[in-house]
A and B are shown apart, each in its own frame.
Chain A
Amino acid sequence: MRNSLANFLLPAGAIIAALGVFGVFVWFAGASPLEVWLLLFKGAFGDWYSWQNTLQRAAPLMLTALCVAIPARAGLTVIGGEGAVVLGGLACAGLAQGLPLPANMVGTVMVCLAAALAGALWIALAGWLRQYRGINETISSLLLAYIAIGLFKHLVEGPLRDPSSLNKPSTFSLAEGLRIGGIAGSDVHWGLVIGVLACLAAGLWVHMTPSGFAVRVVGGNPRAAQLVGLPASKLILLACALGGACAGVAGAIEVAAVHTNANAALIAGYGYAGILVAFIARQHPVAIVPVAILFGGFGAAGSLLQRRLGLPDASVLVLQGIAFVLILASEALRDVDWKGFFARIGRLGPSGAPSAALPEQP
C-alpha cells in the first residue's frame, strides 16, 4: 500500500515540480509563469476543441509508450520506437499502394496488421541482437531507428513517391474507405480507442496471464528465470515484438487517420515522447493511458503558447526534458525515511524538547 502511494505521489510530484521549473524558465524569457500555466491547461483541457487536439495526440503516444513499457517488463530498455512508427506508417501506405485492398474495414485492418508486423520485426531485431549477439539494446534500437528513418525517406522520396506531391514528397493517399475516421463526427479518431484497448490488453497480459508473469520474472531476475526453466530469449523476443507491433500500429494510425499518406510529417518525435510517458507511468501499461493524455495535452498546448506568448515551439520539448530529469531524480526520494525525517524536523523546532525525550529511532 505504502509502495503504491509512492508510485503515484513521486511521479505526480515530479510533474508538478517540472511545471514549476518550467514556469521559472519562461519567466527568464519574459513571459508570466501564471499565464503560461493557465495557457497550458487551456490549450490542453480548456474546451472541446483542445480536448480533441489532446486526444488526437494521446493516441499514438499510448502505443509508442507501450513499445518502451512492454520490453521494459522483460528487462530491456528499448528507445527506438520512432523507427517502428515510421516503418509502420510506411508498411501501411506501401501495402495500400501495392495491393488492391477492399476499401472497407477489412482493408483498414489489413494495413494496420502490416504496420504491426513491420514494427514487431524491427524491435524484435533489437531484442535478437541483444539475446544472441550480446549487443546493448538501448544503443542498437536507436541506431535501428535512424536506419528506419533513412529507409523511409529513401522510399518516400523515391520508389513510393506520388509524382504529384512536389514540395512535400509523400506516397499516394490512402483510399477513402481505408482511412480511420473520427468518433461520432468529432476530430478524435478511432485510433484513441485502439490505443486505450492496447494499453488495457497489455496490462491484462502482463499482470494476469502466465506468459505475462513469465516475462516479468525474466525482467526481474534472469537467473531465477533460468533456474525455473523459462525460455528467456523467446519471452524477450515476444515482449519486443509486441511492443514494436504497438508502435507500428501508431504509425499506421497516423497515416490512416491524420496525414492520409506517408510523408516526413510522420517523423514527429512520438517515439521519443513515448519513452517519457512510459517512464512516468513506471512501465505500467494501464497507467500509460492517463499519462499519455496529459502529455498529449502539453503537446496540444504548445501551439497556443507559441501563438499567444510568442514562445518557441520547442518550449514543450523543454518541459518534457525537465519532467524526465525530475521523474528520474524523484526515484531517489523513494527510500527516504519520511517518519524519521519529520521527527527530526520536529526536534529542531521550538517544541523539540519533549520529542527529544523519546527513545532514539534506529
Chain B
Amino acid sequence: MTADQLLIFLAGIAGGALRVGAPFLFVSLGECITEKSGRINLGLEGVLVFSAMSAFGASYLSGSAWTGVLAAAATGALLATLHGVLCSLPRVNDIATGIALMLLGMGLAFYLGKPLIQPQAPQLPAIALGNWSDSAAVRSALQVNALVPIGMALAVALWWAFANTRAGLLVRMAGDSANATRALGYSVSAIRIAATAAGGMVAGLGGASLTLFYPGSWNEGISSGQGLIAVALVIFARWSPIRCVYASLLFGGAGAIGPALQSIGINWGYHLFNIIPYVLTLLILVITCRPGTTVSGSPGELSSTR
C-alpha cells in the first residue's frame, strides 16, 4: 500500500464514518427518545426502510430533495405512531409489535417502491470537507451529507431538553416509573405514544439520508439491519444523545472499512469486512451488559434490559 493509497483509505474511513454513520445517528437518536419513555421500538428498522422509500419517492415526484426529507419524517412518525398505539393496548408486547412493524414497514416499502427502482431523484446537497486536498479521490470521499450537522445539533438539543424542559422530564419520568407518572396525573400511554412518534420522525431522517445521499438510490437491499444495530447502539451509548453521536460515528467507520478497501482495489473478503459492524455490536454488548444487573443509566421501565 503506497502513501497515496493509505491517504485515500483513511479519507474513505473518515468520510464513511460520517456518511455511513448518518442513518445510525438518526435511528439511534429516535430510538433514544423512544426508550427514554420506557418503550423499545424494534420496528425502527421498518420505519427506516419505509421512510427511505417515501423520501426517494417524494423527492422524485416533487423535484426537491427537502420535500423528500419532510415526507420521510412524516411517514416515519406515522408508522411509529402505529407502534405506539398498538403497544398501549392491553396484553400487547412491545418487542413482538416491533418485529411485526419491521415486516410491515419493509413490505409496504417494497410494494410501493417498485416503480422507484429505476429512476434518479434529486439528491441532498453535500458539504465538501475535502477541499484542502488536491486528490480527487480524497475529495469525493469527504463529501458529507447536509443532514449530518442537523443530526448533531439535534443530539445536543435533545441532551439539553431531556435535562431542562418539562417535556423532557415527562418523557424520562414515564420511562423510569409509570406509577409515579400516573400519581402526578399524567397519562403514561399518551407520553409514550408521543415519544415513539417523535422517535419515528427522527429515524425517518435516517431513511432520507440513505436514499437521498448515500447510497443515493432506492432498492430493496437499502438497509441491512441499520435500524437494529441502532437499538444496540443506544444501549452502548447508555441512553445519552451525545454518546449516540460518538457511537454512530464509530459504527459508520466500521461499516466503511469494506467500501474503503474496495476503493483502493482490495476486493478480497468484501462480505467479511461488511459484517464488522454486527460483530462490533455484539462485542460491545458483551462488554457493556452483565447478567442479572441493569446497565447504568437505563430507563427503569424498559423491557429489553431487564
Could you tell me how many residues of chain B have their Cβ less than 8 Å away from some Cβ of chain A?
A: 49
Q: Is B42 an interface residue (CB 8 A)?
A: yes
Known A77-B96, A135-B289; contact A314-B91, beta-carbon cutoff 8 A? no
Q: Is B222 an interface residue (CB 8 A)?
A: no
Interface size on A, residues (CB 8 A): 46
Q: Does A52 sit at the interface, judged by CB under 8 A?
A: no
With A312-B110, A317-B111 known as contacts, the answer to whether A329 contacts B89 (CB < 8 A) is yes
Q: Which of the candidate stretches A36-44, A111-119, A150-158, A192-200 sits at the interface with the other chain?
A: A150-158
**Cβ distance A138 to chain B, nearest Cβ, rounded Å:** 6
Pairwise interchain contact B103-A146, C-beta atoms closer than 8 A: no
Shortest beta-carbon distance, B114 to chain A, in Å? Answer: 4
Contact B293 A134 (CB under 8 A): yes
User: Is chain A's interface secondary structure helix, strand, loop, or mixed overall?
Assistant: helix
A150 to B278, Cβ gap below 8 A?
yes
**A138 to B285, alpha carbons, bound, how many Å?**
13
With contact pairs A133-B289, A318-B104 given, residues A335 and B114 touching in the complex (Cβ less than 8 Å): no
* Contact A325:B86 (CB < 8 A) given known A142-B225, A146-B224: yes
Flag if B272 contacts A143 (CB, 8 Å): no
Report B159 CB to chain A, min CB distance, Å: 24
Q: Shortest beta-carbon distance, A57 to chain B, in Å?
A: 17
Distance in angstroms from A325 CB to nearest chain B CB is: 5
Contact, CB under 8 Å: A133 / B285 = yes
Q: Report the bound CA distance from A314 to B114 in whole Å.
A: 9
Could you tell me the distance between the alpha carbons of A320 and B285 in the complex, rounded to whole angstroms?
A: 31
- B residues near A (Cβ < 8 Å) are 42, 82, 86, 89-93, 95-97, 99-101, 103-108, 110-111, 114, 220, 224-225, 228-229, 231-232, 269-272, 274-275, 278-279, 281-282, 285-286, 289-293, 304-305
Which A positions have Cβ atoms within 8 angstroms of B?
77, 79, 129, 131-136, 138-140, 142-144, 146-147, 150-151, 153-154, 157-158, 272, 275-276, 279, 312, 314-322, 324-325, 327-329, 331-332, 334-335
A-B CB contact pairs (8 Å), 20 listed? A134-B292, A136-B304, A136-B305, A144-B278, A147-B282, A150-B271, A153-B271, A154-B272, A157-B271, A276-B100, A276-B103, A312-B114, A314-B114, A314-B220, A321-B100, A322-B104, A324-B99, A329-B86, A332-B90, A334-B91
